[in-house]
Chain A
Amino acid sequence: MNQTSDEKSQLLIDMRDIVKHFPGVMANDGANLTLRRGEVHAVLGENGAGKSTLMNILSGLYRPDSGEIYVGGERKEFGSARDALLAGIGMVHQHFCLVDIFSAAENITLGMTEPRLHLNMEDIEDDITELGRKFNLGIDPHAKIWQLSVGEQQRVEILKLLFRDAQVLILDEPTSVLTPQESDELSETLRRMADSGRGIIYISHRLAEVCAIADRVTIIRGGRDIATLELNEIDEERVANLMLGSDVSPLSHVDRTKTPGDTILEIKNLDVTNDRGLPAIRKANITVKAGQIVGLAGVAGNGQKELADVISGIREADAGEIRIADKDITGKGIREIINEGVSLIPEDRTNTGLVSVLKVKDNAILRSYWYERFSRGFLIKGEEVEQHTERLVKDFNVVTPDINEEVWKLSGGNQQKLLLAREMTSDPTVIVASHPTSGLDVQAAMDVHNMLLEQRDKGAAILVISEDLEELLTLSDQVIVIYDGYVTQPIPGDKADRSDLGLLMMGSGVKELVS
């Protein structure tokens, strides 16, 4: 696309042919992005598509392997986030960078050079209030960060950038932590900022919002931009298709003819609050039968973690019931639930599911060392454990020099295989697998899938929680979607359509399908 030199300097940002790779993965493969003055530009893409990397490069956090960045027509190179800030580009990350016990004003003025010695907080606070009024970012500058709601904290982050006269603001999944009202207010704010001549880049998964607010949309897939749509070209279905690729998934070699058995895992009207005090799960109903895999699709942060925690006993529910084979286990202790045959494959592999500093054989009995099989009196039967571990490693193809190797030295894939091996060897009745293949290479992921399918064939009731639609569609007999704590009715695996599911994952049409 040729641009006249006029057009070029009109562009606030022009990223060309950005290439970035990390060990083992090509994150950006010739990506391009432009940002006009006064526009709100949304960047969409699945996880791992490369959009976060691209934005981190723009905001100075990463340095590209090759490619160019032009800011207002001028070529720039950023050695750090600070350099980018000086050039007027700032980013609000998903995880805020705020000092909790400082006030909003203190956070905003942190790192600035004036006033040099004495801090007249009142003056600074007045300036901030003024700025806030201008952009519909009202906050009490005197309040401490920990006292503010997440939405207010986000405003502080934005004000931090505006205070430094940032012309380009990048927001990473800003509405994932906001209530609907706060999201509306944010949209208003973004509009005002854009109208003032600034440029906004908005990374998101939430289709409906994006389509409502963006002037242009760029879709990233496979490390590069595959389409940029103008305002009049934006419609939900088209965007969803572009994001996910238009082929409907070829469904798998999974034998769908077996009829599932009795209901094993039953969740009724579950209400769970998350660590921030906000509702994470709202009146969820989920049923998983023996010999069945139910896939829970959803973007991370919509309540999956809380759900897995509650089923395995790590967290308490506020209301509702959980039953295993018709036995009420709501509120029971972790050991008891383990003894009922519930296996949890946690999201945090290295620090929760495994103890990385301990050996492979130590980890192999993390959730079973008190069984008669492995202990006699107060001693652990060393030989039994070793035999068990050897068998585990062999049967599940865990690559390790020997069973005495410390787990942190194993590759991610083998760590996960070890974890799964451990959890599945006990032939559990229920398996909750949370993001079982995140960060794994293709071969390792396939191994994991086969393990899950094997357990399914043995009659386990399996709930797989994942963001990867491909994975869920391959494995699941039924798919349910979670969005903002709401869980939909099951959709049979062979009837599930990628773009339909994609829409649901982004909130479109969820409420109608809540079970």
Chain B
Amino acid sequence: MDIHMFSALLHTMVTAGTPIVYAALGELITERVGILNLGVEGVMLIGSVAGFAAASQFSNHWIGLGAAIIAGAITGFFYAVLCVGFKVDQVVAGIALTTFGIGFSAFVGKPWLGLPLAVPFEDIRLPILADIPIIGEPFFDQDALVYISYILVPILWYFIYKTRPGLHLRSVGENPRAADTLGINVTRMRYGYTMIGCAIAAIGGAYLTMAFVPTWFEEITVGRGWIAVSLVIFSGWNPLIVIAGAYLFGGLDAATLYIQAAGTNIPSHFLAMGPYILTILVLVLAARKRKGGLGPAALAIPYDSEGQ
């Protein structure tokens, strides 16, 4: 494999990994506040179709992005109503969201099925940075959404670990009772961060239809939402590891394409299984009894401020 090919591989690694970055970051925030969202797949799809539809309708991909974010936030709101307001079982609620998202996106996306987006996010080559040998083009000849993800990761990391709002966010997910007695409004935090988390995940979905592919077809996420959920666990709820892990999966996708192109005998189907098997392995490794290895202590447990 020559340098050119390797660069191309890295480039695909980034683009294939970016939707997972967004989805995982969104899920990370939601879980940090104590809410388990297994409907990420559905949220991504809603983001995908909202972004594509709006972008096509208004011939502007930024409007598309805005629509995806809003759609994600609204979805997050309703999900929070179920989980925080009605204190339902979050596992079942997540599956309901996934099913709804799959159906809703297919339904709404029908008029645009298979059509390419006329105004996708184009690659923007960053001068000087893109000239760096080998890694220049893969990382710095990408579209705006990729660049935004580069910035989002350290910002989130800083927010979560180094600021007061971040401390409060984490406390709600770890011990909502302690947070409550110290004056933190658990309900407001949970609603807010669920909406933010879903909005970010929706961007991941929009990336697929507005940059990566860029077209709309049903279930375009093919399980990336689920991979994002496991990635959050594996990363120890840490944004920095999330992006590394997302690129790992993206790299696997890219490697699959390369191996196929190189014409080996391994059927593509087995290569395609890779990410999913990797997900399980990653979870098994993460299960080592690391303190906090199971996530925010109050994850998926509804908070009853009246009870014990």
Q: Contact between B184 and A100 (Cβ–Cβ < 8 Å)?
A: no
- Chain A, 375-399, CB within 8 A of any chain B CB: none
B182, CB-defined interface residue at 8 Å: yes
Q: How far is the CA of A100 from the CA of B171 in the complex (A)?
A: 10
Known: A110-B168, A117-B164. A146 touches B175 (CB 8 A): no
Q: Contact between B170 and A102 (Cβ–Cβ < 8 Å)?
A: yes
- Chain A, 201-245, CB within 8 A of any chain B CB: none
Smallest Cβ-Cβ distance to B174: which chain A residue = A99
- Complex interface bits, B148-176 against A, C-beta within 8 A gives 1, otherwise 0: 00000000000000111101101100110
- Complex interface bits, B175-211 against A, C-beta within 8 A gives 1, otherwise 0: 1011101111000000000000000000000000000
Residues of B within 8 A of A109 (CB): 164, 167
Residues of B within 8 A of A146 (CB): 291
Q: How far is the CA of A115 from the CA of B167 in the complex (A)?
A: 12
Q: Contact between A101 and B174 (Cβ–Cβ < 8 Å)?
A: yes
Residues of A within 8 A of B182 (CB): 82, 85, 110-111
Q: Contact between A111 and B175 (Cβ–Cβ < 8 Å)?
A: no
Partner of B181, one of A82, A102, A115: A82
Q: How far is the CA of A101 from the CA of B295 in the complex (A)?
A: 10
Q: How far is the CA of A106 from the CA of B167 in the complex (A)?
A: 8
Q: How far is the CA of A82 from the CA of B182 in the complex (A)?
A: 6
Known: A97-B181, A110-B182. A115 touches B175 (CB 8 A): no
- Complex interface bits, A149-192 against B, C-beta within 8 A gives 1, otherwise 0: 00000000000000000000000000000000000000000000
Q: Contact between B168 and A111 (Cβ–Cβ < 8 Å)?
A: yes
Q: Contact between B297 and A100 (Cβ–Cβ < 8 Å)?
A: yes
Q: Contact between B183 and A82 (Cβ–Cβ < 8 Å)?
A: yes
A495, CB-defined interface residue at 8 Å: no
A119, CB-defined interface residue at 8 Å: yes
Partner of A101, one of B165, B181, B291: B291
- Complex interface bits, A76-120 against B, C-beta within 8 A gives 1, otherwise 0: 000001100100000000000111111000110111000111110
Smallest Cβ-Cβ distance to A147: which chain B residue = B291
Residues of A within 8 A of B164 (CB): 109, 115-119
Partner of B171, one of A85, A102, A115, A117: A102
Q: Contact between A110 and B163 (Cβ–Cβ < 8 Å)?
A: no
Q: Which of B163, B170, B175 has the most CB of A within 10 A?
A: B175
Residues of B within 8 A of A116 (CB): 164
Smallest Cβ-Cβ distance to A116: which chain B residue = B164
Q: Contact between B174 and A117 (Cβ–Cβ < 8 Å)?
A: no
- Residue pairs across A and B with CB atoms within 8 Å: the count is 60
B292, CB-defined interface residue at 8 Å: yes
CB A469 to nearest CB in B, in angstroms, measures 27
Residues of A within 8 A of B168 (CB): 110-111
Residues of A within 8 A of B163 (CB): 117-119
CB A60 to nearest CB in B, in angstroms, measures 9
Q: Which of A99, A107, A119, A146 has the most CB of B within 10 A?
A: A99
Smallest Cβ-Cβ distance to A120: which chain B residue = B162
Q: How far is the CA of A98 from the CA of B182 in the complex (A)?
A: 11
Known: A117-B163, A117-B164, A146-B291. A99 touches B183 (CB 8 A): no
Residues of B within 8 A of A99 (CB): 170-171, 174-175, 178, 297
Residues of B within 8 A of A111 (CB): 168, 179, 182-184
Q: Contact between B167 and A117 (Cβ–Cβ < 8 Å)?
A: no
Q: Contact between B178 and A101 (Cβ–Cβ < 8 Å)?
A: no
Residues of A within 8 A of B184 (CB): 110-111
Residues of A within 8 A of B179 (CB): 110-111
CB B169 to nearest CB in A, in angstroms, measures 11
Q: Which of A85, A97, A100, A110 has the most CB of B within 10 A?
A: A110
Residues of A within 8 A of B292 (CB): 101
Known: A82-B182, A82-B183, A146-B291. A102 touches B174 (CB 8 A): yes
Q: How far is the CA of A102 from the CA of B183 in the complex (A)?
A: 17
- Chain A, 135-153, CB within 8 A of any chain B CB: 144, 146
Known: A115-B164, A119-B164. A110 touches B174 (CB 8 A): no
Partner of B165, one of A85, A102, A106, A117: A117
Q: Contact between A97 and B175 (Cβ–Cβ < 8 Å)?
A: yes
Smallest Cβ-Cβ distance to A83: which chain B residue = B183
Q: How far is the CA of A119 from the CA of B175 in the complex (A)?
A: 20
Q: How far is the CA of A171 from the CA of B126 in the complex (A)?
A: 62
Q: Contact between A100 and B165 (Cβ–Cβ < 8 Å)?
A: no
20 A-B residue pairs with Cβ-Cβ distance under 8 Å, sorted by A, are A82-B181, A85-B183, A97-B175, A97-B177, A97-B178, A99-B170, A99-B171, A99-B174, A100-B175, A101-B174, A102-B170, A102-B171, A106-B167, A110-B168, A110-B171, A110-B182, A110-B184, A115-B164, A117-B164, A118-B162
Extra contacts, 8 of them, besides A99-B175, A100-B175, A119-B162 (Cβ < 8 A), are A97-B181, A99-B297, A100-B174, A100-B291, A107-B178, A110-B182, A111-B184, A117-B164
Binding site for B on A (CB under 8 A): 81-82, 85, 97-102, 106-107, 109-111, 115-119, 144, 146
